[in-house]
């Protein structure tokens, strides 16, 4: 499920609360331009700046959710 950042954080809180007794929550992040490699290469060749964002995913093994944050330092 792809969510906006605020609902994602609310759902992530609920996911952590559901797994306090048993289970785990995995959160991963990576830098992404949300463009294909071909599009990024064309933008680089044309001298256009590429805007990177932070793709965040969370799962508890049963449910998955994703959101995209505007890039910030450390992503």
**In whole angstroms, what is the distance from residue 2 CA to residue 4 CA?**
7
pLDDT attached to residue 40: 86
Which regions in the chain score pLDDT beneath 70?
Answer: 71-75
pLDDT attached to residue 37: 87
* Number of separate domains in the chain: 1
Report if residue 37 sits inside a domain: yes
CATH number, domain with residue 31: 3.30.720.10
Report if residue 75 sits inside a domain: no
pLDDT attached to residue 71: 60
Q: Quote the pTM value.
A: 0.77
**In whole angstroms, what is the distance from residue 11 CA to residue 35 CA?**
27
**In whole angstroms, what is the distance from residue 22 CA to residue 29 CA?**
24
**In whole angstroms, what is the distance from residue 68 CA to residue 75 CA?**
11
């Amino acid at each position: 499920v792809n969510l906006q950042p605020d609902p994602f954080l609310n759902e992530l809180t609920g996911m952590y609360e559901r797994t306090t007794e048993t289970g785990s929550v995995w959160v991963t992040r990576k830098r992404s331009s949300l463009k294909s490699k071909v599009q990024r290469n064309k933008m680089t060749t044309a001298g256009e700046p590429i805007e990177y964002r932070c793709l965040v995913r969370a799962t508890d093994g049963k449910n998955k959710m994703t959101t995209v944050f505007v890039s910030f330092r450390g992503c």
